[in-house]
Amino acid sequence: MALWHPLRRKDAKKELNPNQDVYARFDRVKLTLGNRQVLSDVSLSLSEKRIGVVGLNGSGKSSFVRLVNGLRRADSGTVKVFGSDIDDVAADLPRFVGFVFQNPDHQAIFPTVGEEIAFGLRQLGFDKAKARDDALRFLELHSCSALVDKPFAELSEGQKQLICILAVLVMEPKVLILDEPMASLDGLAGRKIMQKLKKLDQKLLMISHDLSFLADFDRILWLEDGSIRMDSVPGDVLPAFRADVERRSALELGGDDL
């Protein structure tokens, strides 16, 4: 993807250096929400090109990935992003660590596609006209220029998710975090988005309940009750996770048909 706007925010406390392999380092991180311990004592480093996150509902996956871009802050322990304490580089984070939500309607804030894409560029300091021009060029680059004036609300679910991903990518982040991006898409739309994601230069940190999307990732983290239960290659983690889900289903459903 072409880099044409080497801009950075000037209001970060400390300049973030994105040219390092490890993009996030967790050291003994704990997170409590309400009266529930959501993450307990998580220590790890993230550097691989594609990392998948799996786990049952409520295991802490969304909270974990939100800690990487500052949408959540740890109660104790440290989270470093590109080597800096997350509090020191918070203002720079949206530029370098993009976040795509599960539900596109929770992410998009502007009426039209063009405005949605231009917003990221405005955040980077572009004036309105240049943001509009570059948004159109960016949409052309991704074969979506026909959508520029379309109301976001009139897009298909697949198009909405694609535009939300592009709206983040236009800021040229180094890392793209995706929280179940395919959850509301049919199989075909989901596969199209996945194909697009795999061609990106960005590192991916992606939650998915559909394990087939993660089969050729570099690394899989399995979260259970706020802890890392397994951290290894897909060939090890995915069959073990699948077997655990089946074992629990057999125990909890007692063989009853749904």
Ligand X SMILES: Nc1ncnc2c1ncn2[C@@H]1O[C@H](COP(=O)(O)OP(=O)(O)OP(=O)(O)O)[C@@H](O)[C@H]1O
Contact residues: ligand X, CB under 6 A: 33-34, 36, 38, 55, 57-63
Q: How far is C-alpha 145 from the geometric centre of its chain's CA atoms?
A: 24
Measured between alpha carbons, how far is 48 from 204 in angstroms, rounded to an integer? 8
Measured between alpha carbons, how far is 26 from 244 in angstroms, rounded to an integer? 26
- What are 240's two structure tokens? 């073990």
* Shortest distance, position 59 Cβ to ligand X, whole Å: 4
* Shortest distance, position 36 Cβ to ligand X, whole Å: 5
Closer of 65 and 144 to ligand X (Cβ): 65
* Shortest distance, position 74 Cβ to ligand X, whole Å: 13
- What are 228's two structure tokens? 């890392």
Cross-sheet strand order for the sheet of 97-100: 97-100, 175-179, 203-207, 50-54, 219-224, 227-232
* Shortest distance, position 175 Cβ to ligand X, whole Å: 18
* Shortest distance, position 131 Cβ to ligand X, whole Å: 33
- What are 134's two structure tokens? 């570059």
Sign of CA dihedral 128, 134, 138, 143: positive
Measured between alpha carbons, how far is 55 from 52 in angstroms, rounded to an integer? 10
